[in-house]
Amino acid sequence: MVTRNNWIAVACADHARRGCAQPAHGFMQVCHGKRAPLMRVLPGDLVTYYAPTLTMGGKDKHQCFVSMGIVQPGLPYAFDMGGRFVPHRRDVVYVPAQETPIAPLLDRLAFVENRRRWGYHFRFGLFKVNDHDMALIAQAMQADAVTLGLAAATL
């Protein structure tokens, strides 16, 4: 049996929303367009985006999960965004989900090992989480757990 991984990707809300603007034809980019982190993500994996801010480099705190989807077949590919910026992407089909703040979930997320340093993992730009955490986030976002292949989390 193939194991599915769950990922949290980090981007400002403006950028995360671009990736899911057309849910059936969505994409993900991480770590300023680097290819290597996307090679760890496989077709069938789940990804949710966390946005610490509304805008890139901004001081406008958002601290919300923004989108959730299923990574599609294919390898990371370069995409010319203009201005000589050619980041790598992976295709993702996003499911309907409501942006939701992380704060009410902090005491229940397994990856939050120290409540005072809850943002530690986010500095990596992309990290794995367990099924419980992904189901908890999906439930908070009102995303369809059945479509995502997740068991319902107990809140």
* pTM score, whole prediction: 0.92
Question: CA 68 to CA 11: how far, in whole Å?
Answer: 13
Output the CA–CA distances (angstroms, integers) from residue 27 to 20, 43, 52, 136, 149, in the order listed: 7, 12, 19, 23, 20
pLDDT at residue 137, rounded to an integer: 97
How do the domains of the chain map onto residue ranges? 6-148
For domain 6-148, the CATH superfamily is ph1033 like domains (3.10.590.10)
pLDDT at 112: 93
Produce one character per residue of 120-154: b if its CB has 16 or more CB atoms within 10 Å, e if not.
ebbeeebbebebbbbbbbbbbbebebeebebeebe
pLDDT at 88: 95
The pLDDT, as a whole number, for residue 73 is 97
Look up tokens 């479509």; give the residue.
147
* CA–CA separation, 101 and 78 (whole Å): 31
Cα angle, residue 110 at apex, residues 66 and 8 outer, rounded to 5°: 30
Per-residue pLDDT of the chain (155 residues; tens, 9 = 90+): 468 999 999 999 999 999 999 988 999 999 988 999 999 999 999 999 999 999 887 788 999 999 999 999 999 999 988 888 889 999 999 999 999 999 999 999 999 988 888 888 888 899 999 999 999 999 999 999 888 988 765 54
> What does the pLDDT read at residue 2?
61
CB burial of residue 36 (10 Å; 0-12, 13-18, 19+):
exposed
